[in-house]
Amino acid sequence: MTVLLTAGLVAGCGADTASDPGASAGSTSTGSASPSPSTGPVDSTVLALISQTAVGGRVDPHPTVLDSRAAVEQFAGRFRGGLLQGRLQQVLAKADLGDGRVPVAAVVAVGCDVPKAVDVQRTPDGLQVTAQPVRSPLPECLAPVTTVAVVAVPSGAV
């Protein structure tokens, strides 16, 4: 019984995962596209939610603009191993941002659960990207999973 429980936890948390970019790509947050409101939802498109096991990092809702290779390298430098940087570069290479939009990335979760969606809000503290709550959180896991949201936002939002 213990072996089966442990195997289930490893399968649920220990595997490297990435959300299906096709499921998230093109999705936009519901919100106003009005020019520069001081607070509230931001018109955004989720390019990908990248999840990787045991790479470290800290949740930080304040996104980093990924407008150059150097910016991607600096953002990815906070994680162990080089896999996350390669995955970020792949997402950005395939991204169709459109005029006046820039890609940003934020660590939205570190733990047992992998979020399926994010919210993008303008707050008094600036732009914030946060994970939506997971419906059925896992009680525990053997290795934490770091999830990075890559989102296209209007350049005036950052």
Q: What pLDDT is recorded for position 3?
A: 35
Integer Cα distance of 105 and 148 in angstroms = 6
H or E segment to which residue 64 belongs:
strand 64-65
**CA 154 to CA 129: how far, in whole Å?**
14
pLDDT in tens, 27-77: 444 444 444 457 899 999 999 999 999 899 999 999 999 999 999 999 999
pLDDT at 141: 82
pTM: 0.76
